[in-house]
Structure 1
Amino acid sequence: MEVADYSKNLIVCPNQWLIYNQRCYFISEEKRTRDQSWQYCKSQGAALLTINDKKELYFIIALTDKNSYYWTGLSCSRANAVIWDDETPLETNLFNKYCSRPGCVAIWSNGVYSHACSQPEQWICEKASTQIQM
């Protein structure tokens, strides 16, 4: 169990999850397809990662293998725009974007790449932490 103290509130995440900015993150070691990764996150009460700013991006980059692809909540729309699962566009200054066809997108190093949905890759889940008032 990961625990952080934020002035009279105890922030708690499940075992094998990491805390950052009062959010919980799970970075897999095994590989699954995009759909299997999404299902795993859902089974944990989480979603595939959505990165909101550069600080969060740097946190994730520091924890991931630079030679591996990771499934996140990104996909490539029919208009070849990179979007999050909630259909909001990817902030243009977060990543280099390589969206060549509609479908799945994986992150690798500092870029976002069109990727076969059936290709097993590692993944990152994100969810709200539990706060316990002290």
Structure 2
Amino acid sequence: MQFDLLIKGGRLIDPASGLDAPRDLAIADGHVAAIEAAIDAEHATQVIDARDCLVTPGLIDLHSHVYWGGTSLGVDADRLAAKSGTTTFIDAGSAGAGNFLGFRRHVIERSRVRILAYVNISFAGIFGFSQTVSVGECSDLRLCE
């Protein structure tokens, strides 16, 4: 069988299967096609040497703020995912009821990675943090009605 990608020699950690061992991992058509102690590199279009590296399923960031452009704390989830191995972000309340639809349409729906989000208790969500400004989203309790 021919593989699109072969990741060779890494320490493969897969909690779902209980695997924690040196393994080669082959990808074909965007899916894991084989996990073996040794897979011949001749069968792959691209080979990555993963010696001294961890190979894991996609990671989940359990506390993030990914409303990029909507809050001063927001980061670009797709950009961060490419550098961190994260495939799912849990946004910990960047948007409130007043701006959640914008967050969903402009960030969540357009993102290549998966974003799950909590809605902030404050109607406005997180909005006022910088070097010189610090306004807590609940500093005016009317925003929490």
Instruction: Flag whether TM exceeds 0.5 (same fold).
Output: no
Larger Rg: 2
So what's the TM-score if we normalise by structure 2? 0.21
So what's the TM-score if we normalise by structure 1? 0.22
Tell me which of the two structures has the higher relative contact order, counting C-alpha pairs closer than 8 angstroms and 6 or more residues apart.
1
